[in-house]
Structure 1
Amino acid sequence: MKKYQKLYAAGLISAETLNRVIQLQEKPVFSLHREIRMILYAGILMLSTGLGILIYQNLDSIGHQVILALITAITAGCFWYTFKNQSPYQQEKQNSTNVAADYILLFGCVSLLSLLAYLQFQYDFFGTRYGLATFIPTVILFFMAYRFDHQGVLGMAITNLALWMGVSVSPQVLFGLTRINESPLIWTYVSLALLLITAAYLSEWFRIKPHFKFIYLHFGSHILHLSMLTAWFAYSGSYNWIYLLLTIFSAALLYKNGKREQSFYLILIQLFYAYIAASILYMDSLKWIHLSSDPYLFILWFIISPVLLARHIYQLHKKLKQ
Structure 2
Amino acid sequence: MSTLENSANLSVLQEKVNATIKEVSKVVVGQEYMVNRLLIGLFTNGHVLLEGVPGLAKTLTINTLAKVIHLDFHRIQFTPDLLPSDLIGTMIYNQKNGNFEVKKGPVFANLILADEVNRAPAKVQSALLEAMQEKQVTIGETTFQLDRPFLVLATQNPVEQEGTYPLPEAQVDRFMLKVYIDYPKKADELEVMRRMSNQNFDDNVQQLLTKEEVYQVRDAINNVSISASLEEYIIDIIFATRDPKAYGLDKLSEYIQFGASPRASINLHRAAKALAFFHGRDYVLPEDIKEIAYDVLNHRILLNYEAEADDITTKDVINSILNKISVQK
Common fold by TM > 0.5: no
Q: Which has the higher helix share?
A: 1
- Larger RCO of the pair (alpha carbons < 8 Å, separation 6+): 2
Look at both structures and tell me which one has the larger radius of gyration over its CA atoms: 1
Higher fraction of strand: 2
Q: What TM-score does the superposition give when structure 2 sets the normalisation length?
A: 0.29
